[in-house]
Amino acid sequence: MNSPKRDVAVIGGGPAGLMAAETLAAQGLSVDVYERMPSLGRRFLMAGRGGLNLTHSESLTDFVARYGEARDPLGGILAAFDPQALRAWAEALGQDTFVGSSGRVFPRALKASPLLRAWLGRLDAAGVRFHLRHDWSGWGADGALRFATPAGEVEARPAATVLALGGASWPRLGATGAWADALRDVGAPLAPFAPANMGVLAQWSPDFTARFAGAPLKAVALTFGEQTIRGEALVAAYGLEGGGIYALSGDIRRALATGGQGQLRIDLRPDMRRGDLASRLIGGRAGDSLSNRLRKMLKLAPVEIGLLREAFGAGLPRSPVGLAEAIKAVPVSLTGVAGLDRAISSAGGLRFEGLDERLMVKARPSVFAAGEMLDWEAPTGGYLLQASFATGRAAALGAIDWLAERG
């Protein structure tokens, strides 16, 4: 009697796909990883340019809450492979981690490449096979996986498949969202892609753009609606970007999409009260220009003074009290958000209602899905990678369980 097939295809060579491959291989399954790009982990390596923020050290309850509407389907998955488990996993690969002052967790090397090299070495030793430049184009009439390659189309017929194809941001690194057509064709429910953790658009004057594009706004407080974020922003030619902006970007995108007001307020001195600001401004020398008063008495940087003038124009208050009010709430009218090609991540994708509790696609039994291709959204700070790793592991465990049921 023939033994049942025990081979699994993983489509996507990013964190979710590689974690799925590792989990499957650890159970003795035969694993083939297919990746459309010429190398593996391209977005992972890009994330490493900023120090590789793997996860966050806050409590699991607070951590899960960061996923908003997806916190219920993701909660159990994250609890099963939580930030401590991810840190232990990285350290087993020889990459010690530490908690930064913000609570974010990084490898001590502050780079992705040593971790990726060790990880790929482990997968190679486990017998995982890699097929690069294999661009998945869906299923054939007989259910075979179809791939476009430089040598022509090839097919694969695994016992199970894990899809880890990423979202739709940074397409030059491999995540194009083109997979959505194949899943839509089989009836899987999809949410439209939208940029997440992206910059916002503002109509700066040519002079402000020429002088200050690329200048940072440090240690400010950014308020949109009822939410205030302490952090940094960066003036861009098209508007604003940076960690503080990204934390608000989902709310901004949703507000603008529904016709809401797009006004951001920036507190340039969040650690000082209005009265203290006014008192300092009163003490300026009689002959000083307004810019000199702001620079000398409050240590405002040129970009901060420029932003005040940009926001208020000729209406910028001259009185100490009025100036203090302006400094505490600089208005910036937003006209839109940066597109998917500039976004750090994407919202939308395969809806959880189209998956069972094992992350199997209901419309396509034997196919499981993981990573950013699922319809969840989270801020930067380690939440994106943590959920990618955790769902990759969960989808692999689902495939293992499903195969076990079939003998």
Cα distance between residue 36 and residue 131, in whole Å: 8
Question: Beta strand pairing status for 367-369 and 160-163?
Answer: parallel
Please answer whether residues 170 and 345 qualify as being in contact, where contact means their C-beta atoms are separated by less than 8 angstroms.
no
Distances, alpha carbon 75 to alpha carbons 79, 124, 354, 377, in Å: 6, 31, 17, 13
Res 1 pLDDT > 70: no
Cα distance between residue 264 and residue 314, in whole Å: 20
Cα distance between residue 245 and residue 249, in whole Å: 6
Res 57 pLDDT > 70: yes
Angle between helices 320-328 and 302-312 (to 10 degrees): 100
Cα distance between residue 163 and residue 365, in whole Å: 12
Specify whether the backbone of 91 is left (phi greater than 0), alpha (psi in -120 to 50) or beta.
alpha
Q: Which pLDDT does position 136 carry in this prediction? A: 97
Local confidence band at 4 (pLDDT 50, 70, 90 cut-offs): low
Cα distance between residue 359 and residue 356, in whole Å: 5
Cα distance between residue 7 and residue 33, in whole Å: 11
Least confident of 21-30, 292-301, 325-334, 382-391: 292-301
User: What is the CATH topology of the domain spanning 7-195+346-405?
Assistant: FAD/NAD(P)-binding domain (3.50.50)
Helix (H) or strand (E) holding 94: none
Please answer whether residues 140 and 40 qualify as being in contact, where contact means their C-beta atoms are separated by less than 8 angstroms.
no
Radius of gyration of the chain from its Cα atoms, rounded to whole angstroms: 25
Cα distance between residue 386 and residue 164, in whole Å: 14
Cα distance between residue 69 and residue 378, in whole Å: 10
Cα distance between residue 256 and residue 333, in whole Å: 11
Res 204 pLDDT > 90: yes
Helix (H) or strand (E) holding 31: strand 30-35
Domain ranges of the chain: 7-195+346-405, 200-337
Res 286 pLDDT > 80: no
Cα distance between residue 106 and residue 100, in whole Å: 7
pLDDT of 222-232, one tens digit each? Answer: 999 999 999 99
Q: Which pLDDT does position 3 carry in this prediction? A: 47
Helix (H) or strand (E) holding 238: none
pLDDT of 130-174, one tens digit each? Answer: 999 999 999 999 999 999 999 999 999 999 999 999 999 878 877
Specify whether the backbone of 94 is left (phi greater than 0), alpha (psi in -120 to 50) or beta.
left
- Token pair of 268 as six digits: 């340039």
Instruction: Using DSSP, state whether 203 is helix, strand or coil.
Output: coil
Percent of the chain with pLDDT over 90: 87
Local confidence band at 287 (pLDDT 50, 70, 90 cut-offs): low
Res 181 pLDDT > 70: yes
Averaged pLDDT of the chain: 94
Please answer whether residues 125 and 26 qualify as being in contact, where contact means their C-beta atoms are separated by less than 8 angstroms.
no
Local confidence band at 5 (pLDDT 50, 70, 90 cut-offs): low
Q: Which pLDDT does position 267 carry in this prediction? A: 98
pLDDT of 241-265, one tens digit each? Answer: 999 999 999 999 999 988 877 899 9
Res 2 pLDDT > 50: no
